[in-house]
Structure 1
Amino acid sequence: MTTDIAAIPDNYDTPWKEAIEHHFPEFMAFYFPKAHCQIDWQKGYIFLDQELQAVVQDAELGKRFVDKLVQVNRLSGQEDWIYIHLEVQGSAQAEFAERMFVYNYRIYDRYHRPVASMAVLADDTPSWKPQEFGYDVLDCQMGIRFPIAKLLDYADRAASLENDPNPFALVTLAHLQTRATRTDPQARFAAKWRLIQLLFRRGWARQSILDLLYVLDWMMKLPDYLSVQLWQNVANLAQEKKMAYVSSFERIAIEKGMQAGMQQGMQQGMQQGMRQGMQQGEALALQKLLTKRFGVIPSDTVGKITTASSKQLDAWLDLVLDAPSLSAVFDGPPPSTH
């Protein structure tokens, strides 16, 4: 079965919004550590999304993933509380810096409090790094300079991101790998599965893991047949880890598998649809692993894989990482019938 992943629209704005709202201090610590150190986090923070929309509703200057207005308290200074105006921008736009300027002064004009604007640039243009807007006319200077975090700057730091305990290290990896796998569903499946495994190793609280699990799922869309396999993997991993809240993952996995099975329109019922989807996912995953280890796979071997049972595929998957040759995978011990 083949599915064009390009036909599945990637969802960036919802996962970014959810991640920021659930982990705002971690967001600031990861992308804007200097600002993070100046905020009194013990006094909490308040999201003011409705207030922001009221301020900028007639000043739309280009599409963005997320815009946020947050009230925070500073550790020192004459003003105890200030506003943070935050943008997550998904594409390079000539008017972006101007929008940051307009939104900043409109917020200040409405509330007469200090406003710190900052931006996460989530686009695909390495050279695009707008940080200021302004003008100088008749000895009158007006403008803004704001800090940015460019996600593409993290593209060569995969290893450090995998080891970083901040949840936005995984969000950054997910965003970059979603962009990089637009046309390769198998590569996205492998990347998403690895990120979920990394998430489970973090040792975070139940709700934090669930929050990030949903973010990864929203962001890294998969064809239905791979989605079924992925969520079965998630349920199995939760069982293996003997997590106290394994039922939560089982419920999510079942819901995801059922949704994918319904979308596939299997005629023989939901259980058969899920089994077929998982088996197809296993077959494709095995082919990809074999290709990475041993190069191009002979056509007769591909045929053997596509017609194999789920039990046989599981046996081959167990052997593929350690086998010294392609033939050793298929000449290995047969799967147990018990």
Structure 2
Amino acid sequence: MAKPIDYDALLKDFITDFFPDLIAFANPLLYAAIDWDRGYTFLEQELINALRGKFKVRGKRRQTDKLVKVYLKNGLEHFVFVHVEFQHKKEKGFGRRMFVYRALIGLRYGLDNITAMAIFTGAPPPAEERSYYSDTFGTSIEYKFGTVIAAELEEEHLLKVSNNPFALAMLAALYAYQSRNKPKVRLGLKNQLFALVKSQDIGIDKIVKMLIFVRDYVNLPQKLENEFQETQFSLVFPNAEAMTISKGTKEFAVGLYEHVFGYDPETLLKEEKKKAQELLDKERQAVIEAIGREEEERQKAEEERQKAEEERQKAEEERLRLDNTIRYLHEIVKMSAAEIAIIVDKEIVYIEELLASANENDQD
């Protein structure tokens, strides 16, 4: 069975590479206000900490969000929160979830200057989920956030601004949505996208990344994917006959990938496997330590219970000795309750009740 496509993760990685293009497309006013010469910083760990444990899906916390720190031309820091959402079906409560995300981030780090946006690449969200509103006996909350909904974008407009890589990504998402369950149609659209990407004057690095994104995002059944690759190969080498890929060709392809992305695929795969193993070892160690802590706590609780029981027994034994002493002083020494109370340092009421109870028991 083919591995399912993680559309959200693909687009999240794309945004990492083309963040300024996203802002230029989705929020031109913000783009104009940002001092791009000062760069920008992705705050991945800060975001994970702020949203830890919230809105779990199939037991895993969502990791398709980005928090980015930028600087405005007025010198102030500004933060951009981007949520990526590929929806197979309409979801209730999305607007509230965006509000909670914004509140958690703001409270965790004391931020007010946050621009939030949600990018939908699958089914369009219901109108009521594109914002959040709550009114409780006169206390109301209204929260609006930016939205980019690929399925509702105009193809003509996306083609017009296709020099923006993010517009091309949204065109890929639009085509993928329009051609769902239509693999032959999708094949034609994928070929069109490749031709469009290769025609852009955006630099070889960006073009290669765009082609890889389109290849992975606009997925096809394996047979049609093979046909697609043959078509693209023939466009690059129109006069070439069927050929065997040599070791040198493979090394060249790896070198090109390394030039564009800064690392070769094999090294990346090894690093990912190493990280996965380290994470697995860490989780195993955490389980072992948790079991050890549970056992220590259990033993500690048992020791405390035994100690409490010993103290209870000791107190009971002392009480019995005191009661026997009181009875001895009264019955043998013939002391009054008042005299006994002074000797044993007890309330006279306690002495009298004990002697009365002893007399009743003796009579029985």
Shorter-chain-normalised TM-score: which range?
Answer: 0.5 to 0.7
Which amino acid counterpart does residue 131 of structure 2 have in structure 1?
E
State the AA in 2 paired with 1:132: S
**Contact residue 175 and residue 186 of structure 2 kept, 8 A:** yes
* 1:231-264 CA-partner distances (Å, limit 9, x unpaired): 2222333346xxxxxx799848xx9xxxxxxxxx
Matched, 1:23 2:14: no
| Residue 162 of structure 1: aligned partner | 159
Rg (Cα) greater in structure = 2
* Aligned-pair Cα RMSD in Å: 2.9
- Aligned counterparts, 1:275-294, within 5 A: none
1:38 is the counterpart of 2:33: yes
Deviation at 1:126, TM superposition (A): 6.6
Indicate how the Cα distance of structure 1 residues 132 and 226 shifts in structure 2: closer, same or farther if over 3 A, else same: closer
Please give the per-residue CA displacement for 1:102-160, whole angstroms capped at 9, x wherever unaligned: 11111111211222211123342475363432434566544422222222221xx3233
> 2:91–2:125: 8 Å Cα contact kept in structure 1?
no
Do the aligned residues in 2 keep the contact of 1:158 with 1:173 (CA within 8 Å)? Answer: yes
The letter of the residue matching 2:204 is R
Q: TM-score, with normalisation over the residues of structure 1?
A: 0.63
| 8 Å CA contact 1:101, 1:143 repeated in 2 | no
Q: Retained in 1: the 8 A contact 2:198–2:207?
A: yes
The residue that corresponds to 1:60 in the other structure is 55
Q: Provide the residue aligned with 2:81 in structure 1.
A: 85
Q: Larger helix proportion, structure 1 or 2?
A: 2
Q: Partner of 1:195 in structure 2?
A: 193
> 1:19-70 CA deviation, whole Å, 9 max, x = no partner?
1011100011112222222221111111112221111112216687831111
2:101 equivalent to 1:135: no
Give 1:187 deviation, angstroms.
0.9
**1:262-273 mapped onto 2 (5 Å cutoff):** none
Change (3 A) 1:61 1:44: same
Q: 2:115, 2:136 → 1: CA distance?
A: 24
Seen in structure 2, the aligned counterparts of structure 1 residues 104 and 232 have a Cα distance that, compared at 3 Å, is same
- Structure 1 residue 12: deviation in Å? 1.1
In structure 2, the CA distance between the partners of 1:198 and 1:149, relative to structure 1 (3 Å rule), is: same
Which sits farther off after the overlay, 121-130 or 12-21?
A: 121-130
For 1:103, the aligned partner's letter is Y
Counterparts of 1:65 and 1:125, CA distance in 2? 21
Q: Is the 1:122–1:152 Cα contact (8 Å) retained in structure 2?
A: yes
Check the 8 A contact 1:10/1:220 in 2, yes or no. no
1:144 corresponds to which letter in structure 2? Y
Corresponding residue of 1:204:
202
Percent identity between the two aligned chains: 26
1:195 positional shift: 0.3
Q: Tell me which residue corresponds to 2:7.
A: 12
SS of the residue corresponding to residue 236 of structure 2 reads helix
Structure 2 SS opposite 1:88: strand
Q: Tell me which of 89, 92, 95 is aligned to 2:93.
A: 95
| Aligned partners of 1:84 and 1:117 also within 8 Å | yes
The SS at the match of 2:123 is: coil
Change (3 A) 1:100 1:18: same
Counterpart in 1 of 2:234? 236
Cα distance change of structure 1 residues 129 and 65 upon mapping to structure 2, 3 Å threshold: farther
Pair 61,39 (structure 1): closer, same or farther in 2 beyond 3 Å: farther
What is the aligned counterpart of 2:108 among 105, 110, 114?
110
1:149 aligns with 2:148: yes
Q: 2:211 aligns with which of 205, 210, 213?
A: 213
Distance in 1 between the 2:62 and 2:170 partners? 17
Q: TM-score under structure 2 normalisation?
A: 0.59
CA shift, 1:175, in A, is 0.7
Check conservation: 1:18, 1:215, Cα contact below 8 A.
no
Give the unaligned 5+ runs of structure 2: 239-248, 258-364
> 1:249 & 1:86 partners in 2: Cα distance?
37
Q: Which moved more, 1:114-123 or 1:100-109?
A: 114-123
